[in-house]
Structure formats: structure tokens, C-alpha cells
Amino acid sequence: MKLPVYLDNNATTPCDPRVLEVMIPYFSDIFGNAASRNHSFGWQAEEAVEYGREQVAGLIGAEDKEIVFTSGATEAVNLAIKGVFEMYASKGNHIISVTSEHKAVLDTCKHIERLGAQITYLQVKADGLIDLNELHDAITPQTILIATMYANNETGVVQPVAEISKIARKHGILLFSDATQAVGKIAVDVNKDGIDLMAFSAHKLYGPKGVGALYVRRKDPRVRLTAQMDGGGHERGMRSGTLNVPGIVGFGKACALCLNEMKNEGDRLESLRDKLENGLIKIGGIHINGNVQQRLPHVTNLCFEEVDGNNLLVSIAKNIAVSSGSACTSASPEPSHVLKAMGLNDQRAHSSIRFALGRFTAEEQIDYAIDHINKVVLELREWNQFIGAK
Ligand SMILES: *Cc1c(COP(=O)(O)O)cnc(C)c1O
């Protein structure tokens, strides 16, 4: 069995060897600049980029021309929110988002608040879902954008995006979704879901780091954006800068693999996740954070009563890689803003751990994780009682 066991696939995923293989020639042999129009080096690179674009678009039911390549989801989020805020300034300055969003969204919102944006942050219910009535009530004539994530990175909870879209459409408001955790894992279709802008990233779906995309709807309605990067006018003027050709080739291949394997892989991971969850819960004093029906198949977030999450992480870190939430904020001792948004107190939030399985998770690793974590949790609890008794 492979140790340590990696159960932090929401932070990043390994690049699939099949993805790496198709990327390699584009670092050296086929090294052209996709914007070079005058020779075969450029044409070959451009052809590879356009094939990648087709594969990326294909995974989410989009047209090729609706894909804007970026350096990752963070950049795509910034481009979407800042780009809409600037472009639609004459229509209004109000944006609706949610307290449990990723920091990429929350910090971008904070940034434009300083530039005059009005942001309403919707609360989530105890199960992590937003209340559609509250969304409806938050809309004003100034509202230009609703920004709600597809699936939460800490809990895996999946928002009712298609329902949210109906409300947005009825009021002529654009819908942006940070779908970084959902794309490639569950069926995401920009038309069925009624999404106007959507951010996602290669390294969360077994592709390389440093490449992502923003989906930008081209009709019904045609979405316009102010570019956030000025330069050569690449990507239909929305994102200047020489394209990351090997990255885009890998992103495309990763998307094609996800599309092919999603159904089987989702079922496999769901049964492994359930096995892990049941195996841990049976020792008692463990709760699942978030809605258990509407969630990603490979994620669970568990609260271990009477255990400090950080102690648990440290105690198992040599053999099992998990996290207490978003990797981007793990430097801070603050409890997870996502769990706090769901109403958990600091202690419960500090006692919670995220488990995210992935394509390379094997059943024997889950068996091992159950035994090992149960042992450590019981030891930590005993120690707590010993300390408490003294
Ligand atoms: C990982 C993640 C991001 C950031 O993606 P990068 O490609 O690393 O910039 C944004 N949103 C969510 C929900 C994520 O999980």
C-alpha cells in the first residue's frame, strides 16, 4: 500500500500520467508561441491550444469561443467579478455573494467594495446551502451580478445553481459561479445550469498547476468584461499574455479524461467516501458538517468531538494527509470561515477535518485511514480526559 495516504484532493490533485504524457512535447519540440501567425511553429502551438479549448469547453457544455484561459481559478474569479463590476458600472454597483465562498471570491469582493461596489453577503443555513428566498429578497434594481460557488471546497456541499439561475434570469442579473471543485467531478453544464460566467482550474481535476479558465457566455445574454490584464489582446481581448501551451494541452486532456470517467469514478469514490465516513463515525462523537444529500461524492467534513483538529492533523500527518479546510488560509489559526458561516462555534470548527478522496485513492488506503484515525482519536480523547481529571 502507498503511504502516506493523500486525502487532500480539494487542495490539489496529482497530474494524471496520461495528462503529463501529452504535455511533454510542448515544452521543447513544439515550443511555438500560439500567437505567432507567420510560421509553422506558431500554427502548431495554436492548433494544440484550440484542441485543448475544445476539450475544456466539451466538459462543461460550452462553445470553444466561450473559454478564456487564465493562470488558474483565482485569476478567473478576479477577471469575472472585477471585469463585470467595471463593465456594467452604468447599470449598477450591487453584487450578491455568500459568506461561505472561497477567499478568491470574498477577497475580490472586498477589493471592489473599496472601489464603490455594494456587496450583500448571504448567510448559509446550518447545512451549508443558501436560502433562495433570502437571495430573492437581496436583489435590488442596482444588482448586476450574483456570485455563488458550485460546490464548497471545505464541505463539498453543492448549491442549487440551476434554481439560483432562474432567479437571476428573471431579474436580468448575471450569474457567476466558482465551480473549481465541481467541474470534472460532477456533471456541470453551463446551459442546463444557466451559468453566465464560471471559473475552474486544471490542478483540481488531475491537470497541471498554473492554468485555469473563465467561461464567458456569448449569447442569451452576451456577457462583456473589462480585461484585468492589458497587453497583446489575447483571448478575445479578455486576457492578454502569451498562452501557456503545455498547460492548456494538459488541461484539455484532463478535462477529456474527467468527461469519460466521471460516472464510474464518482460512484467508486462515493462508496469509498461512505466507507470512510461510516468507519470513523462508528466510534461515536463524530458529526458530518454540511448537507449529506447535496454534496460532492468524494468529500466529507467531519467534526470530532473532544479532539482539537490541529492535534489530530499533526498526529496523523506522517501517514495521512488531510486538512482542516482551505489550504490558502491554513497559515492562519482562525477557525474555518465556512464552518463558522454554517453556525459552528469556534470549538466545533477547530475540531473539524476535511477528507477529500481522489482518482488515485485505493480502498486499502481507506481501510488503513479508518483504523489509524480511530486509534489516534481515541488516544487524543483519553489524553483529554486524563488532563481534565488532573
Ligand atoms: C482551489 C480553489 C480556488 C483557487 O484555484 P487556483 O487555480 O489554485 O487559483 C478557487 N476556488 C475554489 C472553490 C477552489 O477550490
Residue 228's identity, in one-letter code, is Q
Q: What is the mean pLDDT of residues 230-234?
A: 95
Q: What is the pLDDT of residues 181-219, one digit of tens each?
A: 999 999 999 999 999 999 999 999 999 999 999 999 999
Q: What is the pLDDT of residues 62-73, one digit of tens each?
A: 999 999 999 999
| Residues shown for the chain | 390
Q: Is 178 in the pocket of ligand 1 (CB under 6 A)?
A: yes
CATH class of 17-256: alpha beta
Q: Is 177 in the pocket of ligand 1 (CB under 6 A)?
A: no
- CA gap 92, 86 in Å, rounded: 10
Q: Is 102 in the pocket of ligand 1 (CB under 6 A)?
A: yes
Helix-helix angle 363-389:309-316, to 10 degrees: 130
Q: Which of 355, 388, 223 is nearest to 281 (CA)?
A: 355
In CATH terms, 5-12+262-389 corresponds, of 3.40.309.10, 3.30.1490.390, 3.40.50.720, 3.90.1150.10, to: 3.90.1150.10
Reported confidence tier of residue 166, pLDDT bands at 50, 70, 90: very high
What pLDDT was estimated at residue 326?
A: 55
- CA gap 191, 168 in Å, rounded: 14
Locate the ligand 1 atom nearest the alpha carbon of residue 76 and give its number.
9
How far, CA to CA in Å, does 358 sit from each of 7, 174, 184, 353?
7, 32, 11, 16
328 Cα–ligand 1 center, Å: 9
Q: What is the mean pLDDT of residues 359-377?
A: 98
Q: In a mutational test of the pocket of ligand 1, which residue from 204, 205, 209, 298 has the highest number of ligand atoms less than 8 Å from its CB?
A: 204
Q: What is the DSSP secondary structure assignment for residue 147, as one 8-state letter? A: E
Q: What is the mean pLDDT of residues 164-169?
A: 98
Q: What is the DSSP string of 298-328?
A: TEEEEEETT--HHHHHHHHTTTEE-BSS-GG
170: Cβ contacts below 8 Å, ≥ 6 apart: none
CATH 3.40.640.10-classified regions of the chain: 17-256
Active site residue 328: yes
HEC readout, 28-91: CCCCCCCCCCCCHHHHHHHHHHHHHHHHHHHHHCCCHHHEEEECCHHHHHHHHHHHHHHHCCCC
Question: Peptide bond before 221: cis, by omega within 30 degrees of 0?
Answer: yes
Q: Is 151 in the pocket of ligand 1 (CB under 6 A)?
A: no
Selecting among 109, 255, 303, 328, the annotated active-site residue is: 328
Q: Is 285 left (phi over 0), alpha (psi -120 to 50) or beta?
A: left
Average pLDDT, the chain: 96
Collapse the DSSP code of 121 into the 3-class scheme (helix H, G, I; strand E, B; otherwise coil) and give the result.
strand
CATH 3.90.1150.10-classified regions of the chain: 5-12+262-389
Lowest mean pLDDT among 7-16, 267-276, 332-341: 332-341
Global pTM reads: 0.96
What pLDDT was estimated at residue 325?
A: 67
